[in-house]
Amino acid sequence: MPELILVVFRVVAEALVYANPFAWAQRCGRQQRLRRLTRGETALVPCDVRDARLTGGGQWKNGYLAVGPHPAAWQEKGRGQQTLGPWPPLLPVSADEISVAFRSKSGETEIRLHSDEAPSVLRALGQTGC
């Protein structure tokens, strides 16, 4: 009987790992944000930003970019939004299966976000060629 309980527990644990409910929830959130952006509505896109104007001393901060029909605004988690002037041109510097990173030529500004949301965010930041 104890062996049967262990087998059932292992099957359930492996099913949860395979299903990965956390990744499923993230994917649903991204799809919902992309639908909002397609309709021309505002969406809060999670990302990491490093910029002296926004993050004080160029530290990486986790937060959101409010993207939509208005100028893009940065919102650090737990703080208010900051609307900014034009962003410097950003160039892709790295990518993996989860995220893509962009950096200004000077290296003073960097942004990391999910690759599905990058085109919408770059357009909102006034980047050309997106």
Q: Rounded distance, CA 99 to CA 116, Å?
A: 9
CA 106 to each of CA 14, 52, 89, 103, 123: distance values in angstroms, whole numbers, following the listed order: 46, 12, 10, 8, 20
- Tokens representing 38 are 């397609």
| pTM of the predicted model over 0.75 | no
With a cut of 70, say whether residue 84 has pLDDT above it.
no
Structure letter (DSSP) for residue 25: H
* Nearest to 50, CA basis, from 38, 42, 39, 59: 59
b/e code 84-93 from CB counts within 10 Å (16+ = b): eeebeebeee
6 vs 109 pLDDT, higher one? 109
**DSSP reduced 3-state for 9:** helix
Q: Could you please report the per-residue DSSP string of 41-87?
A: --EEEEEEEEEHHHHTTT--EEEEEEESSS--EEEETTS-EEE-SPP
pLDDT per residue as tens digits for the range 10-54: 777 676 556 665 566 667 777 888 788 888 888 888 988 888 777
Q: Rounded distance, CA 61 to CA 57, Å?
A: 11
Tell me if 18 sits within 8 A of 43, measured CB to CB.
Answer: no
pLDDT per residue as tens digits for the range 90-130: 888 988 878 899 998 888 888 999 888 888 888 888 776 55
